[in-house]
Structure 1
């Protein structure tokens, strides 16, 4: 996946399986598929938010340093707005 890829929230929602997990934090999309077993809080937490906007949960337990450390490695793109019908 290229760094500049744009995902709709519904596209991210399809990536909620064991080996295929995307999450959204502040309009950036992160692939946590490989990170899930390294997550200090346990895999269950990431599995619960896989395919969703996890911004609220992320900022409740993490500070900006966590994104600076892991973000560049895990970020796969951004969120594009879905067309309003």
Structure 2
């Protein structure tokens, strides 16, 4: 996994049919395969699709959740210096 994405690239994947990408810190995650498994429901993931979800993620999760799911869901990083 060495792909880098701009926030604009991530924004193109705001829906499940488009891959449902989100940003957490500097990582880009594809949530399309996880949306139905998410314990908090699909609605919240769909709401943050294509966006930086760091604030929402850290409000409800700890680092162990990210470590558990990153190998399966992380597809790349945000280009350095790029911001939403």
Aligned-pair CA distance for 1:17: 1.4
Structure 2 partner of 1:78: 77
Partner residue in 2 for 1:66: 65
Aligned to 2:16: 18
Runs of 4+ in 1 over 2 A off after TM superposition: none
TM superposition shift of 1:16: 0.8
Higher Rg of the two aligned structures: 1
Kindly indicate which of the two structures has a greater share of residues assigned to strand: 1
Report the CA distance between 1:18 and its aligned residue. Answer: 2.2
Partner of 1:36 in structure 2? Answer: 35
Distance 1:66 1:43 in 2: 17
SS at 1:66 equivalent: helix
Question: Structure 1 regions of 5+ residues with no counterpart?
Answer: none
Q: CA deviation at 1:10?
A: 0.5
1:7-31 CA distances to partner (integer Å, 9 max, x unpaired)? Answer: 0000100001123200000110000
Cα RMSD for the two superposed structures: 0.8
- Match in the other structure for 2:4: 6
